[in-house]
């Protein structure tokens, strides 16, 4: 190839190398500054020897940058395009084997100035195969670096003990020479490579341990190199140890980036990094203080800086107090610091003994001398903290011990570096964390759960704080949500408020909430839920106003916190004369015939001898008068002279004024004190709504029905119409015979028309007569209008009102509904002959019992007749069999309806039942909840009698228990729009079964499935069916809630004693209470009381007072205590007697039962308990009382309530959550809610279970006696 080939190769290499110099440089282990971009190579021609395979060129360096470059300079051959070409005469190689040429003497004075060119060095390449190749060069400048980086692990500390099993490991490093090689960082934990878990920067590395380290000793090793390859490493051991103690102390150590915290039990945790305090440059903290808990600001002093800084640990800080504010010179440096609760600063100054104090008002005062602290005169006070009680805490001179001094000239060891978890560390700053214990606070009267028998109680609150002290101005109090803080007198130890006369509390439940803070802001709260109860009569009356005669339903009740109410008396007229006398409350109906206001008064006597009364005003109003009127003729040609005939009546007075407004313009044109009859001539054509009004002697007025006083006048020659009807009032269906006649001046009436409903449409017409008939079914007043027309087209119009009365009824098929676990099927029917022939008798499995309808309650007499069974689990219905009393008393043709959830109709079919028994197959109807047979015809005209009804069905898979509901039966005697509602005891509508539905006259049965409008099963309790219907646009209500029920009776009972011949013995403190077994035929309110047999008016205990309960068998227990919580004892030779009364719920009531959990078989072990018996340890711990109980169903929670029998106060509450059905236990340690053992005495240990729907069980309890 010769010379041309050699020159071509040189040119190729030169161009390629220059282009590569523009690419970013490559990092090398040699730690010099990369100056590749500031220097160009000045090269000679590339020459070569084919025989030896050598190529060479002379290369110098030229500085094209803007600054002088300090030598020496290394020209590193970073890469060659082929491994068959090598650098032959390099001055050396880098740590990673790259050849380089050293330009040192070639730089003259040791540097390369701007635009200066160095001397050259000849570079040799060995290329034995004469290949084309390229290479890249990197230029590095600067002296050699042989010093390793500075490396420190700042957390964990060497030899330390941390309670943080997931610490943030922090490492700091720096290098003043060639700089840190970030990529060289490595770390091992317990011999395992942990480098990947670190976030590495130019100045440090952090690793947040994710998986908790095991308790025990661990080893950490870290290393880092600089860019010159100099390496540093550190290996340290630290221990992870569990600690349950709260953090109590803050400290910092020399040359460390952290503020640490410790409980003082030999462990520590990392607390704050200085960067969180806004300290960016490394500087030791020499003073540290935190005044408020829960993240309060930190106050600190930095070494070699002035003033006090403040930070919320949010990465920022500011000056809290400057040197000037502290009364110091600008150059004075603080050596230690404490900031107190009130903001005062206590500190020492560098190189100055003694402590100073400043309020920040540009001055300071002496606080305490070194001598008082037990230090020599020249010692510097550092690591300063001042306790709430004035105790001084400071470090010894070498910073390894925290000393304590009370200023008496001595000091003693308080904490060591080992106790802080950092043995061998030098403490720079120390502080005790603010106390986090809230003050002790209790409402001492009334205590939580108390029953207060005064309406002006004295509230007393006690509090104290043994650390930072009470902040009395922080006291807050609210009574029933209203702020009453200003009414309390507050001292250092408590607060009190006496309710004054005129501000009496209501007899009701109340809540007092109080709070207090200590001086560092720790707050305590206390609540007392208490009841105010005084002897009081509670009369009830419905209605409290109306017109005479007014019948009022009265109920009697009362509260007696100190005894038992033994007598009830009513003075219905409020005249001081009592009409009734009862030892047990009962309901009364009283009728007021004379208008007036009566203060019906209930008077009660207590067993304590106290009496009281309360009144309800009953307002009996005067009956308003009634007015009737007619106008004859009411229509015809003008001028029309009409006779206006009016009359009035008043059942409890007299009419004193008669008035006519002839035109209906609001002005009464005529009046008389004696008569309502007059005449008036209408001269203008038109329609006039005349008004007739009467006034009685009490000033009440009435106007006649508008339909009877309409006057229609026509032009001359108009005919006159006269409308008549028989009857004009009655029950639906009301068939009315109408007779319309007319007179005409020309005697040529050609058309008679009737508009029966006054809707503008004439429903009937005739050319010859005005006589016809029409049947009304819609309730209300209807205006029938007659129009006659003569041959000239002139008309006359008359009208007559027709009133259709409406009677309504409402009844409940079953007054007890809900979950009945022991019954899979229940029965109901359209009627029953008596309770002995109830529908349930047809499903009792006994063919000798039967269901029988009431006489004449069959389709033959227009009665709805049906029999229905309901299931509490969804069924697949395959058929049924009806065994009739005989074939003669069967339903002969029926409609079979099957209903599912939400009353949905699943199946309906008419069929004949020809024999007895009647067996019917059904097509496997799934999810059935009700099956009804409705008789279309019956074999007997007067009765249906069913001996037994069998259903062929299987329970659906995974079927849930369904509550058994009831049919709400209603009837209307005329057509109307009807709503059927279910209300709760508060009067709120929980279910709308029928919503404003247009119904024809007749009977209806609407099934309530015990659910609300949202489909949820309602909670246990009483509910009421109400019917609303519309007459003449007005909503009327049939609600039996306040007008029925209350009838008193004695439920049959058993297993109760009390006679001298057969006393029943029971032992309350052996979990043996007296059972009272009784049966309710209907849902009722129950009152159970205990008296003494041979003493009248001596009741010692009211166990229940009109407590609503469902129909069925029940058991109530008496625990043997009287109303004052004492164990009852009869007089010598006498015994107790039990009394029980039932009060029927209203006729429209439905009692939901079975939805709430039931607690039974409650027992306490032991019943006699001493917290300090030999069974307990020396502190009285480890023993208590175990309550064992059975739970009918899973409960969301079970609450323990401990009451004092002596005071009735609730002393302890506790909750168990997610309790399973079956036998369970609850432990009570004998303590109240304040953690104190209760006093000697007798206690009631009650349990209440609540399910997820909020249904709460009855309180069931055991008795225990506490002694010491």
Question: Residue 206 is part of a domain; what is its CATH number?
Answer: 2.60.40.1220
CA 331/CA 1133 separation, integer angstroms: 99
Predicted local confidence at residue 1063, as pLDDT: 46
- What is each CA distance from 924 to 694, 927, 1096, in whole angstroms? 70, 10, 64
Return the top range by mean pLDDT from 780-784, 900-904, 1124-1128: 780-784
- What is each CA distance from 746 to 635, 1126, 1174, in whole angstroms? 16, 102, 123
Any domain includes 1018: no
1163 with 1255, same domain: the answer is yes
Q: Pick the range with the lowest mean pLDDT from 126-140, 719-733, 912-926.
A: 126-140
The last residue of one of the domains, among 580, 599, 621, is 621
414 with 491, same domain: the answer is no
Predicted local confidence at residue 690, as pLDDT: 95
For residue 92, is pLDDT > 90? no
254 with 376, same domain: the answer is yes
Closest CA to 825 of 947, 906, 920, 928: 928
Q: Pick the range with the lowest mean pLDDT from 894-898, 959-963, 1197-1201.
A: 959-963
Mean pLDDT within 224-247: 91
Q: Which residue has the higher pLDDT, 818 or 213?
A: 213
Cβ burial of 1139 (10 Å; 0-12, 13-18, 19+) is: middle
Mean pLDDT within 313-340: 93
Reported as type and span, the H/E element at residue 494 is: strand 494-498
400 with 252, same domain: the answer is yes
771 with 752, same domain: the answer is yes
Strand partners, 249: 262, 432
Predicted local confidence at residue 576, as pLDDT: 93
For residue 1181, is pLDDT > 90? no
For residue 889, is pLDDT > 80? yes
For residue 1175, is pLDDT > 60? no
The last residue of one of the domains, among 94, 126, 141, is 141
* pTM strictly above 0.75: no
For residue 25, is pLDDT > 60? no
Mean pLDDT within 334-359: 92
Cis amide linkage into residue 834, ω under 30° from 0: no
CA 522/CA 520 separation, integer angstroms: 6
For residue 7, is pLDDT > 80? no
Predicted local confidence at residue 254, as pLDDT: 86
CA 186/CA 200 separation, integer angstroms: 10
DSSP state of 837: G
Strands 440-445 and 1260-1266 turn out to be: unpaired
744 with 779, same domain: the answer is yes
What residue numbers bound the domain in which 1247 lies? 1159-1266
Residue with tokens 């009844």: 811
The last residue of one of the domains, among 218, 242, 266, is 242
Write the CATH number for 578.
2.60.40.10
Write the CATH number for 889.
2.60.120.260
725 with 705, same domain: the answer is no
Q: Pick the range with the lowest mean pLDDT from 503-507, 521-525, 530-534.
A: 530-534
8 with 94, same domain: the answer is yes
CA 688/CA 709 separation, integer angstroms: 8
Residue 89 corresponds to which tokens in the numbers above? 């005469």
Any domain includes 1042: no
For residue 527, is pLDDT > 70? yes
Name the pLDDT band for 1095 (thresholds 50, 70, 90): low
1172 with 1256, same domain: the answer is yes
Predicted local confidence at residue 18, as pLDDT: 32
Number of domains the chain is built from: 10
476 with 612, same domain: the answer is no
327 with 423, same domain: the answer is yes
DSSP E strands in 885-1020: the ranges are 891-899, 905-912, 918-938, 945-955, 966-972, 976-983, 989-999, 1002-1008
Any domain includes 971: no
Predicted local confidence at residue 418, as pLDDT: 95
In a 13 Å sphere around the CA of 1085, the CA atoms on its Cβ side amount to: 18
Write the CATH number for 86.
2.60.40.290
Any domain includes 984: no
Predicted local confidence at residue 1064, as pLDDT: 61
646 with 597, same domain: the answer is no
Name the pLDDT band for 692 (thresholds 50, 70, 90): very high
DSSP class per residue in 222-244:
EEEEETTS-EEEEEEEEEE----
Any domain includes 1071: yes
Name the pLDDT band for 1097 (thresholds 50, 70, 90): low
Any domain includes 814: no
Predicted local confidence at residue 451, as pLDDT: 80
CA 777/CA 203 separation, integer angstroms: 98
pLDDT one-digit tens code per residue, 922-973:
999 999 999 999 999 999 999 999 999 999 999 998 888 888 899 999 999 9
Any domain includes 192: yes
Average pLDDT, the chain: 89
CA 921 to chain centre: 51
Any domain includes 298: yes
Residues 6+ apart with CB under 8 A from 920: 879, 880, 881, 882, 896, 911, 913
In a 13 Å sphere around the CA of 819, the CA atoms on its Cβ side amount to: 16
Residues 6+ apart with CB under 8 A from 1181: none
Residues 6+ apart with CB under 8 A from 1238: 1202, 1204, 1211, 1212, 1230, 1231, 1232, 1266
Q: How far apart are the first and last CA of the chain?
A: 121
């Amino acid at each position: 190839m010769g010379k041309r080939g050699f020159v071509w190769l040189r040119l190729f290499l030169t161009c390629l190398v220059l282009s590569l110099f523009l690419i970013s440089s490559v990092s090398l282990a040699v730690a010099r500054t990369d100056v590749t971009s500031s220097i160009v190579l000045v090269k000679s021609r590339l020459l070569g020897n084919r025989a030896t395979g050598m190529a060479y060129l002379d290369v110098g360096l030229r500085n094209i940058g803007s600054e002088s470059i300090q030598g020496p300079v290394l020209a590193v051959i970073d890469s060659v395009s082929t491994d068959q070409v090598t650098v032959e005469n390099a001055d050396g190689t880098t740590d990673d084997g790259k050849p380089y040429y050293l330009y040192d003497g070639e730089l003259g004075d040791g540097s390369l100035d701007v635009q200066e060119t160095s001397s050259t060095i000849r570079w040799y390449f060995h290329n034995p195969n004469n290949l084309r190749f390229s290479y890249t060069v990197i230029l590095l400048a600067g002296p050699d670096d042989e010093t390793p980086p500075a490396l420190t692990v700042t957390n964990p500390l060497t030899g330390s003990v941390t309670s943080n099993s997931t610490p943030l490991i922090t490492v700091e490093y720096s290098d003043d020479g060639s700089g840190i090689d970030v990529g060289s960082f490595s770390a091992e934990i317990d011999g395992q490579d942990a480098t990947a878990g670190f976030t590495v920067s130019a100045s440090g590395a952090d690793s947040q341990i994710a998986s908790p380290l095991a308790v025990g000793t661990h080893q950490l090793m870290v290393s880092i190199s600089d860019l010159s390859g100099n390496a540093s490493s550190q290996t340290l051991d630290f221990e992870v140890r569990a600690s349950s103690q709260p953090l109590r102390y803050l400290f910092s150590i020399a040359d460390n980036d952290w503020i640490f915290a410790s409980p003082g039990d030999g462990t520590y945790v990392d607390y704050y990094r200085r960067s969180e305090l806004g300290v960016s440059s490394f500087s030791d903290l020499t003073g540290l203080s935190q005044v408020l808990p829960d993240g309060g600001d930190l106050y600190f002093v930095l070494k070699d800086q002035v003033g006090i800084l403040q930070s919320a640990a949010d990465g920022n800080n500011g000056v809290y107090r400057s040197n000037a504010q502290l009364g110091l010179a600008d150059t004075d440096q603080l050596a230690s610091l404490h900031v107190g609760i009130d903001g005062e600063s206590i500190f020492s100054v560098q190189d100055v003994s003694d402590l100073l104090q400043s309020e920040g008002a540009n001055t300071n005062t002496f606080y305490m001398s070194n001598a008082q602290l037990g230090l020599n005169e020249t010692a510097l006070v550092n690591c300063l903290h001042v306790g709430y009680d004035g105790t001084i805490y400071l470090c010894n001179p070498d910073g390894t011990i925290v000393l304590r001094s009370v200023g008496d000239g001595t000091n003693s060891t308080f904490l060591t570096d080992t106790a802080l978890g950092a043995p061998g560390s030098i403490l720079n700053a120390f502080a005790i964390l603010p106390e986090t214990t809230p003050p002790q606070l209790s409402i001492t009267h009334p205590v939580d759960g108390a029953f207060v028998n005064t309406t002006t109680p004295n509230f007393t609150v006690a509090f104290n704080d043994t650390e930072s002290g009470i902040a009395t101005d922080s006291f807050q109090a609210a009574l029933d949500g209203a702020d009453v803080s200003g009414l309390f007198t507050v001292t250092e130890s408590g607060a009190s408020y006496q309710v004054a006369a005129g501000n009496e509390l209501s007899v009701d439940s109340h809540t007092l909430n109080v709070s207090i803070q200590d001086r560092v802001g720790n707050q305590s709260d206390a609540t007392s839920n208490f009841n105010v109860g005084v002897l009081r009569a509670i009369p009830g009356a419905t209605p409290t106003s109306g017109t005479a005669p007014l019948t009022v339903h009265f109920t009697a009740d009362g509260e007696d916190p100190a005894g038992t109410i033994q007598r009830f008396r009513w003075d219905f007229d409020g005249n001081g004369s009592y009409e009734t006398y009862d030892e047990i409350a009962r309901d009364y109906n009283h009728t007021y015939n004379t208008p007036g206001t009566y203060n019906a008064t209930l008077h009660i006597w207590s067993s304590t001898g106290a009496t009281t009364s309360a009144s309800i005003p009953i307002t009996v109003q005067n009956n308003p008068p009634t007015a009737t009127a007619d106008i004859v003729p009411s229509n015809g040609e003008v001028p029309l002279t009409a006779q206006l005939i009016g009359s009035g009546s008043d059942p409890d007075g007299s009419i004193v004024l008669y008035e006519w407004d002839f035109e209906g313009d609001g002005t009464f044109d005529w009046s008389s004190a004696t008569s309502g009859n007059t005449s008036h001539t209408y001269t203008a054509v038109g329609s006039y709504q005349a008004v007739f009004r009467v006034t009685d002697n009490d000033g009440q007025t009435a106007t006649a029905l508008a339909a009877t006083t309409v006057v229609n006048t026509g032009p001359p020659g108009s005919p006159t119409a006269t409308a008549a009807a028989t009857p004009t009032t009655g029950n639906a269906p009301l068939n009315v015979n109408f007779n319309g006649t007319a007179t005409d001046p020309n005697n040529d009436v050609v058309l008679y028309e009737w508009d029966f409903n006054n809707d503008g449409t004439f429903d009937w017409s005739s050319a010859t007569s005005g006589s016809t008939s029409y049947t009304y079914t819609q309730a209300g007043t209807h205006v029938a209008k007659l129009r006659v027309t003569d041959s000239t087209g002139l008309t006359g119009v008359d009208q007559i009102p027709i009133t259709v009365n409406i009677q309504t009824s409402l009844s409940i098929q079953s007054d007890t509904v809900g979950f009945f676990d022991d019954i899979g099927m229940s029965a109901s029917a359209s009627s029953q002959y008596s309770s002995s022939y109830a529908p349930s008798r047809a499903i009792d499995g006994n063919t000798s019992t039967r269901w029988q309808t009431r006489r004449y309650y069959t389709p033959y007499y227009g009665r709805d007749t049906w029999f229905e069974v309901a299931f509490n689990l969804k069924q697949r219905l395959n058929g049924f069999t009806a065994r009739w009393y005989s074939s003669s008393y069967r339903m002969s043709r029926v409609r079979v309806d099957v209903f599912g959830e939400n009353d949905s109709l699943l199946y309906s079919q008419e069929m004949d039942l020809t024999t007895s028994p009647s067996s019917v197959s059904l097509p496997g109807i799934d999810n059935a909840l009700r099956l009804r047979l409705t008789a279309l015809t019956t074999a007997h005209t007067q009765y249906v009698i069913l001996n037994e009804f069998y259903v062929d069905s299987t329970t659906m898979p995974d079927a849930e228990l369904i509550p058994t509901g009831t049919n709400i039966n209603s009837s209307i005697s005329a057509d109307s729009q009807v709503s059927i509602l279910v209300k709760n005891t508060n009067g709120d509508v929980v279910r709308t079964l029928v919503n404003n539905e247009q119904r024809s006259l007749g009977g209806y049965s609407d099934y309530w499935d015990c659910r609300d409008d949202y489909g949820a099963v309602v909670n246990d309790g009483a509910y009421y069916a109400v019917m609303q219907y519309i007459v003449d646009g007005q909503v009327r209500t049939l609600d039996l809630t306040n007008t029925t029920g209350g009838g008193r009776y004695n439920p049959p009972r058993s297993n109760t004693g009390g006679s001298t011949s057969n006393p029943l013995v029971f032992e309350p403190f052996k979990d043996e209470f007296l059972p009272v077994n009784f049966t309710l035929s209907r849902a009722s309110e129950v009152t159970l009381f205990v008296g003494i047999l041979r003493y009248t008016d001596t009741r010692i205990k009211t166990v229940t007072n009109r407590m609503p309960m469902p129909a069925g068998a029940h058991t109530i227990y008496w625990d043997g205590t009287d109303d004052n919580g004492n164990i009852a004892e009869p007089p010598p030779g006498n015994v107790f007697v039990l009394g029980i009364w039932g009060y029927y719920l209203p006729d429209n009531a439905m009692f939901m039962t079975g939805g709430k959990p039931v607690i039974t078989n409650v027992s306490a072990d032991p019943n006699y308990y001493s917290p300090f018996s030999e069974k307990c340890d020396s502190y009285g711990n480890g023993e208590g009382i175990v309550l064992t109980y059975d739970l009918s169903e899973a409960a969301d929670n079970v609450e323990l309530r401990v009451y004092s029998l002596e005071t009735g106060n609730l002393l302890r509450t506790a909750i168990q959550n997610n309790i399973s059905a079956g036998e369970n236990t609850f432990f009570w340690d004998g303590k109240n809610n304040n953690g104190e053992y209760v006093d000697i005495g007798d206690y009631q240990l009650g349990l209440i279970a609540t399910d997820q729907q909020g249904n709460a069980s009855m309180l069931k309890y055991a008795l225990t006696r506490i002694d010491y």
